[in-house]
Structure 1
Amino acid sequence: MVRRFALLLVLGILVAGKAQAQAWEDVNPAVAGWSAERLEAVRQQSRTLKPTALMIIQDGRAIARWGDTSHKVNMASVRKSLLSALYGSAVAEGRIDLSASLAELRIDDNTPSLTAEEKAATVRDLLMSRSGIYHPAAHETADIKRKRPARGSHPPGSFWFYNNWDFNVLGTIYRQETGEDIFVSFENRIAGPIGMEDFSAKDGRYALEKASEHPPYPIRLSARDAARFGQLFLYDGKWGTKQVIPASWIRESTTAYSWAKRIRQGYGYMWWTLPEDTWGPNAFYASGYGGQIIAVVPSKRLVVVQTVDLNQNPNGVRTSAFIDLLKEIALASP
Structure 2
Amino acid sequence: MNSNPISSFEDLMKIEYSNISGVVIIKDESLIYEKYFDGYTKDDVLHIASVTKSIISVLIGIAIDKGYIKNVEQKVLEFFPDYTVKRGEKTIQNITIKNLMTMTAPYKYKSEPYTKIYTSDDWMKATLDLLGGKGDIGEFKYSTVGTHILSGVLVSATGQSVIDFATESLFKPLKIKAPKNVIIQNKEEYLAFLKDKYVTGWIVDPKGINTAGWGLTLTARDMAKIGQLYLSDGVWNGNQILSSKWIKDSTKEKTRWGELSYGYLWWIVDDCYAALGDGGNVIFINPKKEMVVTIASRFMPRAKDRIELIRKHIMPLFE
Aligned to 1:24: none
The answer on 1:200 being equivalent to 2:184 is no
Aligned to 1:56: 25
Aligned to 1:122: 96
Q: State the TM-score, normalizing by the size of structure 2.
A: 0.77
* Aligned partner letter, 2:162: I
Greater Cα shift, 266-275 or 114-123: 114-123
CA distance in 2, matches of 1:304, 1:193: 21
The answer on 1:271 being equivalent to 2:271 is no
1:171 to 151, 157, 175: 151
In 2, are the aligned partners of 1:255 and 1:267 still within 8 Å (CA)? yes
SS of residue matched to 2:10: helix
The 5-angstrom pairing of residues 241-280 of structure 1 reads: 241-261=238-258, 264-275=259-270
* Higher normalized strand content (fraction of residues): 2
Query: Which segments of 5 or more consecutive residues in structure 2 lack a partner in the other structure?
Result: 117-129, 182-200
* Aligned partner letter, 1:258: T
CA distance in 2, matches of 1:138, 1:181: 25
Q: State the TM-score, normalizing by the size of structure 1.
A: 0.73
1:309 to 298, 306, 311: 298
In 2, are the aligned partners of 1:223 and 1:306 still within 8 Å (CA)? yes
SS of residue matched to 2:79: coil
SS of residue matched to 2:227: helix
In 2, are the aligned partners of 1:74 and 1:221 still within 8 Å (CA)? yes
In 2, are the aligned partners of 1:190 and 1:244 still within 8 Å (CA)? yes
Give the 3 Å change call, closer, same or farther, for CA 215–205 of structure 1 in structure 2.
Answer: closer
Give the 3 Å change call, closer, same or farther, for CA 150–252 of structure 1 in structure 2.
Answer: closer
Give the 3 Å change call, closer, same or farther, for CA 132–105 of structure 1 in structure 2.
Answer: same
CA RMSD of aligned residues (A): 3.0
Give the 3 Å change call, closer, same or farther, for CA 139–73 of structure 1 in structure 2.
Answer: farther
The count of aligned residue pairs is 274
SS of residue matched to 2:203: coil
In 2, are the aligned partners of 1:83 and 1:182 still within 8 Å (CA)? no
Percent of aligned pairs with the same amino acid: 22
Max radius of gyration: which structure?
1
SS of residue matched to 1:104: helix
CA distance in 1, matches of 2:63, 2:23: 31
SS of residue matched to 2:76: coil
Aligned to 1:133: 107
CA distance in 1, matches of 2:145, 2:89: 15
Q: Once the 2 structures are TM-superposed, how far is the Cα of residue 43 of structure 1 from its aligned partner?
A: 2.0
